[in-house]
Amino acid sequence: MPHSPVRLAIAGGHRGASFGNAINALGEKIELVAICDPAETARAKWLSANPSLTAYDDFDRMLDDPRIDAVFIATPMPLHAQQAIRALKAGKHVLSEVIAAVTLEECWELVETVEKTGLTYMMAENYCYRRETMFVRNMADQGAFGDITFAEGAYIHDCRDLNLNADGTRTWRGNLRAGNSQLSRGNGYPTHSLGPVAQWLGINRTDRLLRTTTFVKKSAARHEWARHVLPEGHPDADPAAWENSADSASTIIQTEQGRVISLRFDSASPRPHNMVHYGLQGTKGAFMSRRHDDEDPLVWLDGVSPGVSPANFRHKGMARPANHESIGYPRWQVLWEMSEKYEHPAWKSQGDEAVRSGHGGGDFFVLQDFATAISNGTPPPIDVYDAVTWSSITPLSIQSVAAHGVPMDIPNFKR
Ligand SMILES: NC(=O)c1ccc[n+]([C@@H]2O[C@H](COP(=O)([O-])OP(=O)(O)OC[C@H]3O[C@@H](n4cnc5c(N)ncnc54)[C@H](O)[C@@H]3O)[C@@H](O)[C@H]2O)c1
């Protein structure tokens, strides 16, 4: 028997509104019934597109509405964990934007609340659903790379123009005092880079994150931007106003199985934005994402792709198999050439529909998996343990930086 659609409310009308197309495409599974935003302009925009919605200006009042089954929290990052906890306690399933929590205490409280209520909690890490990240996950699951030894991910996106409002005040992203870890001396936004990589490595399934260290670069580019856009004499045009921040962070994580993950986060350095920065190395091959939007991702698989490795043929007299040299030097292949065997089944069957919904297809699959988990009573693919494990890199990185790079133990949230 078909399930009735999950009745959803969205809190946070900016990012939340970008899910409109995906909700329309998933009409049989999800019905948007309410929205919540304290900003009148955000509510008015929703209502002009969809007058039948109930609009709330207060999150907790919205939670009293018995028609709502689930809440998508797309509010400023420092609010996510506490709003998720309140929604779960009010009996609502929760889909949370990234990152799930900004302190370790919040991570634990979130885990305990999900365990106590038994409701569905999923983190909306849409980068896990991009075509290439799901493609590589499918390859990793099938053993195409052999034993994976190293993986990397980066989120490099100049977001300095999101720090200051037109009137010169700081936005939540620009305000460290509002608990916004994105501006902190640490890795303030790790899940876009870590999420896909953690899935490739089976983190929280067959492997576990053990310890992590982070180093940050000095704060240099933020005040240059501030000086560029603020009137002379404005306190935030002074370098001292940004000195407790960092332009960029480099994080290393070791796993229980002896793998290493490298993450980079940079939200302040000027350069064009491209969404994907990933790499993976296994004992049978490697993956390298494209450097910019006009390139394709690359892959090389031992025995499948052209050439052999190692291939230092100019060194003569080395121990090598007899026909080794005749096979030739290894050459990267475009990832999509392996579509027939490794395209993820979800992208094979629904890729076009997902892409039409926007944002690289990720929003469509996130919402679909959330609704399916609720309707079927099955665990969501990115559950609370994944959400807090990936998000915990933020508070742990801040601690590591404060301790001059000392590695921090990563809690085992699954206990
Ligand atoms: N996954 C992604 O690719 C992606 C992309 C963009 C943003 N995000 C995340 O989405 C969240 C929102 O980002 P944004 O760009 O929309 O921020 P934004 O500042 O542009 O918008 C935030 C909205 O939330 C509203 N809001 C503030 N407090 C609220 C409350 N208590 N209840 C309900 N609404 C409230 C604000 O009025 C505003 O309309 C952030 O956590 C961000 O990290 C994720």
72 shares its domain with 209: no
Task: Assess whether the C-beta atom of 74 lies below 6 angstroms from ligand 1.
Answer: yes
* Nearest protein CA to atom 25 of ligand 1, as residue: 12
State the residue range of the domain holding 11.
Answer: 6-125
Q: CA-CA distance, 138 to 329, in Å (whole number)?
A: 27
The answer to whether position 65 is within a domain reads yes
The answer to whether position 355 is within a domain reads no
160 shares its domain with 294: yes
135 shares its domain with 244: yes
Distances (CA, A) of 294 to 276, 347, 351: 12, 21, 20
> What is the per-residue pLDDT across 211-227, written as a single tens digit (0 to 9) for each?
999 999 999 999 999 99
95 shares its domain with 160: no
The answer to whether position 205 is within a domain reads yes
The whole-number pLDDT of residue 2 equals 63
The whole-number pLDDT of residue 177 equals 76
Global confidence as pTM: 0.97
222 shares its domain with 162: yes
26 and 51 in contact (C-beta within 8 Å)? no
165 shares its domain with 112: no
What's the average model confidence in pLDDT over 28-54? 96
How many domains are there within the chain? Answer: 2
Task: Assess whether the C-beta atom of 75 lies below 6 angstroms from ligand 1.
Answer: yes
> What is the per-residue pLDDT across 250-293, written as a single tens digit (0 to 9) for each?
999 999 999 999 999 999 999 999 889 999 999 999 999 999 98
What tokens appear for 411 in the block?
């809690």
Task: Assess whether the C-beta atom of 15 lies below 6 angstroms from ligand 1.
Answer: yes
- Domain boundary among the residues 78, 104, 125 is at 125
> What is the per-residue pLDDT across 113-166, written as a single tens digit (0 to 9) for each?
999 999 999 999 999 999 999 999 999 999 999 999 999 999 999 999 999 999
The answer to whether position 196 is within a domain reads yes
Is the model's pLDDT at 1 over the cut of 60? no
Q: CA-CA distance, 369 to 26, in Å (whole number)?
A: 11
CATH number for 270: 3.30.360.10
Q: Give the atom of ligand 1 at the shortest distance from the alpha carbon of 39.
A: 37
The Å distance, Cα 95 to ligand 1 centre, comes to 13
CATH number for 61: 3.40.50.720
